[in-house]
Amino acid sequence: MEQKEKEMLKQAILQSVGEEIDKWLDKQPAITSGYEYESELLKTTRTVNKIILEKSVGKLPGSRNEKKSPHLPGKNTHT
């Protein structure tokens, strides 16, 4: 990956992650219970992780079945 591409990718990731952090900071004061706080924080971190993965390696498959390869033993054995 060229330096220019890397910088553009980094900026795209930082912008998207920044938006998620802004959303978290906006809803954080309204959270009253520890359970809700932890739940919302985990949801935000999962979203941030997904953003980083998708922007760096591409769109993630919707289900595990989409990742199967026909050449793996025991997987998709019928033709």
Query: What pLDDT, on the 0 to 100 scale, is given for residue 15?
Result: 95
Taking the model in full, what pTM does it have? 0.66
52 in a structural domain:
yes
29 in a structural domain:
yes
Expressed as residue numbers, the domain containing 35 is 3-67
Query: What pLDDT, on the 0 to 100 scale, is given for residue 13?
Result: 92
Walk along the chain (79 residues) in steps of 10 and give the mean pLDDT of each run: 87 94 94 94 94 81 64 57
72 in a structural domain:
no
Domain count, the chain: 1
Query: What pLDDT, on the 0 to 100 scale, is given for residue 69?
Result: 61
Query: What pLDDT, on the 0 to 100 scale, is given for residue 54?
Result: 87
Query: What pLDDT, on the 0 to 100 scale, is given for residue 56?
Result: 85
Residues 6+ apart with CB under 8 A from 70: 76, 79
Q: Vertex 40, ends 39 and 42: CA angle to 5°?
A: 65
Query: What pLDDT, on the 0 to 100 scale, is given for residue 65?
Result: 64
31 in a structural domain:
yes
